[in-house]
Amino acid sequence: MKSVPKLIRRFVGIMLLSSILLIILNFILLAVYTVSQAPNAYPWKTAEEVADNLLQNENGYSLSEDASLELKNSNAWAIFIDNKTMQVVWQTTNLPETIPMSYSVSDIASLTRGYIDGYPTFTGEAENGLVVLGYPKDSFWKHMWPSWDYNLIANLPKTVLFALAVNTALIFIIYLFANSKLLISVKPIVSGIQALSTNEAVHIREKGLLSELAVNINKTSDILQTQNRQLRKKETARANWIAGVSHDIRTPLSMVMGYAGQLENDKRLPEDDRQKAMVIVKQSKRMRNLINDLNLASKLEYNMQPINPKKENMVAIVRQIVVDFINMDIDDKHPIEWNTDETLTVCSVNADKELIRRAVSNLIQNSINHNEQGCKIYVNITAENDKCTVTVADDGVGTTDEQIERLNNSPHYMVCDENTSEQRHGLGLLIVKQIVAAHGGITGIGHSSYGGFSVKLIFPVTYADK
Amino acid sequence: MNFDYLRQKRFLLVDDEQELLDMVVSILNEDGFQNIQTAKTVKEAIAISETWHPEIAILDVMLPDGSGFNLMEKLKSTSDYPVLFLTARGEDEDKFRGFGLGADDYMVKPFLPKELLFRVNAILRRSYKDENPLVKLQNSEIDFDRAEIIKNGEHIPLTAKEYDILAALYRNAGRIVTIDALCEAAWGDNPFGYENSLMAHIRRIREKIETNPSHPVSLITIKGLGYKLIVEGK
């Protein structure tokens, strides 16, 4: 849910940036326009120029050529009012008839501020009087009243900044108000999508600005849930099927095993026949192991095997397995040596005892199965650095580096969807790996220092002993 | 034979497959058990139990007219004798259910004759050890009923712990019993740190049962793993 605040931050950032940019742009435009308007002062300037260029001679007054031309171009007329007489003593030829020829002081004040008969007028001070220029009607709009409080102008920079801040805040509030609805409707959608990614069932309210998106998310969730259910159903069906088959094989195999076992030990039978019975017993045992493994492997693979971890003493569990093998072993071809330090009596691991039994039994059985001619099996437990390591090794035929690499790293055919004709090794090691992984441990397959095969199971120790 | 009195025990076998019943009967017969009755349904089994009073039952879990677990409850309600389950259902759940209801052991099919016989003998020895007149060892005899050892005509009493340890060894006579299992038999669950006490008790038991405790012939040490009790006539 970190993305919503991030989204808001981004929105606000863009908004602030755009308002500031807009204000700066406006200032620039205003400045450019004001500068371009600056020549507007020209009527006053022209009036000054005319006043400067109005020369007194013996015939009265005359205007220089340049000034006359400028007046002509701007279609303006001019008069010169004498200071003493307040009479017009000079005028241009284009003076409209309605313009009075004598002025009072109040007339002067009025024409300075405004107009004479609608003609905007501008004044220029000459030596003995006042030059008045009259521009065509409606050519200028004169405003001569503005005046400001002194403090206002003095505090102008502060005032501008304050206004700017108020404006920004105002824009922000307007923005928040306008977008809060959007943000509110985005929030459930974001959480919905996040829930979808964790495979949860999602149902969000299909209301608000983004209701259409909400509908689609709900639909997607429904589809995902349906697919999950179907997948689960398929996996359950497959695991059940395997359980069913293994169950149905057990009873007939009991009969094969039971009678073969009797024949194997029947002293009345010739040695040859007893040997044959022994082979049947051996193969039946293989089938029995396969059935057990197949069932457990499929259950572990589809997470259908309940794991009930308890604080267990790994030394006791493994010791019991070794003793069970020794107690059951009829031939002396596969002696098991208990190689554990006698001072190590307890190694506590949070484990499902039955599953650990299966894993370690599988390893010992593996050594027996792969060494028909016989081998010595070494079982050892060490406890170091909060790790409990169970090692099952033998001095048998072992295997190649290549095969070890493959056992350690390639997926088993049961859990691999590629063509797998090449890697048909038994289920024994797969189960070992699955069980160890379910306990948070590591399985290491390698060469044994005794010359054969070796498997290390490394489990995390629950807590310090004693 | 020392175990003869166990061979006289009355067996009730219940399984819906005739061929399996025949096979189990033949396995038991071969080991010397003769008093065996078979049933294929819950109804038959109850009828036999009421009239014939079996002393041990071997039951299948799935029967045509009910489950073996229910049958066991009914059988045990009339008379308390040991029950061994024999089933094709290997799921742990069933296992716990079976033991939870008071089953004495549980075997998943398929099985070898010697595996079945070992379990049956262990259950019988555990359940009827007090009836055993005397357990013969090479140099002495154990009287579990009186909790004493008879050596050279001398009666030596066993302490409670020594009795528990010897009983656990006797149940598995001829097989190794782990140090951990012996500690559990004597001191209960999670018997951590009793290994040295166990060694002391074993030494004292040897002094009672062996002629030369430094060179034991009946109570053998299997280094690092456990101990084995050798019983005569086994």
What local confidence, expressed as pLDDT, does residue A396 receive? 87
pLDDT at A38: 55
Instruction: Give the mutation candidate from B97, B199, B225, B230 for the A interface (greatest A CB count, under 10 A).
Output: B225
pLDDT at A393: 93
| pLDDT, tens only, A195-207 | 888 888 888 888 7
Nearest to A251 among B17, B181, B193 (CB): B17
Contact B211, B139 (CB under 8 A): yes
Whether residue A323 and residue B26 make contact (CB cut-off 8 A), yes or no, is no
pLDDT at A416: 55
Residue ranges and CATH numbers for the domains of chain A are: 307-460 (3.30.565.10)
Q: Domain residues of chain B, as ranges?
A: 4-129, 133-229
**Interface-testing mutation among A245, A254, A284, A288, with chain B (most B C-beta atoms within 10 A):** A254
Q: What is the pLDDT of residue B177?
A: 93
Contact A451, A395 (CB under 8 A): yes
Residues of B in contact with A251 (CB under 8 A): 17, 20, 88, 109-110
The pair of three-digit structure tokens given for residue B15, joined into one six-digit string: 């399984």
pLDDT for position A466: 40
Contact B196, B213 (CB under 8 A): no
Residue A135 and residue A43 in contact, taking contact as beta carbons nearer than 8 Å: yes
| Confidence at residue A415, expressed as pLDDT on a 0 to 100 scale | 56
pLDDT of residue A195: 85
- Res A19: pLDDT: 80
Interface test with B, best of A264, A293, A323 (most B CBs within 10 A): A323
User: CB-CB: which of A327, A346, A354 is closest to B176?
Assistant: A327
Kindly indicate whether the ipTM for this predicted assembly is greater than 0.90, answering yes or no. no
For residue range B134-176, what is the model confidence (pLDDT) as tens digits?
888 998 999 888 889 999 989 999 999 999 999 999 888 888 9
pLDDT along chain A (466 residues), means of 10: 70 81 89 72 80 82 83 87 87 87 88 86 87 87 76 85 86 80 78 84 79 86 90 86 85 92 91 92 88 82 78 91 83 85 87 89 88 90 90 89 82 57 66 89 90 92 62
Is B133-229 CATH 1.10.10.10? yes
**A238 Cβ contact list (under 8 Å, min separation 6):** A298, A302
Given this structure, which CATH class describes domain B4-129?
Answer: alpha beta
**Beta strands of A229-354 (E only): which ranges?**
310-313, 336-338, 348-351
Q: How much is the pLDDT for B73?
A: 86
Q: Which of B60, B48, B61, B6 is nearest to B28 (CA)?
A: B6
pLDDT of A423: 47
Give the whole-angstrom CA distance, residue B114 versus residue B124.
15
- Whether residue A257 lies within 8 A of chain B, CB to CB, comes out as yes
Counting Cα atoms < 13 Å in the Cβ hemisphere of A275 gives 3
Put residue A458 in one of left, alpha, beta given phi > 0 → left and psi -120 to 50 → alpha: beta
**C-beta atoms of A345 and B195 within 8 A:** yes
Which of the 8 DSSP states describes residue A135? P
**CA A261 – CA A280 distance, rounded (Å):** 8
Euclidean distance between the first and final Cα of chain A, in Å? 45
The answer to whether residue B56 scores a pLDDT higher than 90 is yes
Please provide the DSSP assignment of B83-104 as one string.
EEEEES---HHHHHHHHHTT-S
Instruction: Give dist(CA B71, CA B174) in Å, integer.
Output: 33
Give A-chain residues touching B91 at CB under 8 angstroms. Answer: 243
pLDDT of B1 reads 41
Between CA A370 and CA A39 the distance in angstroms is 108
Work out whether the CA dihedral A129, A135, A138, A143 comes out positive or negative: negative
**Mean pLDDT estimate for chain B:** 86
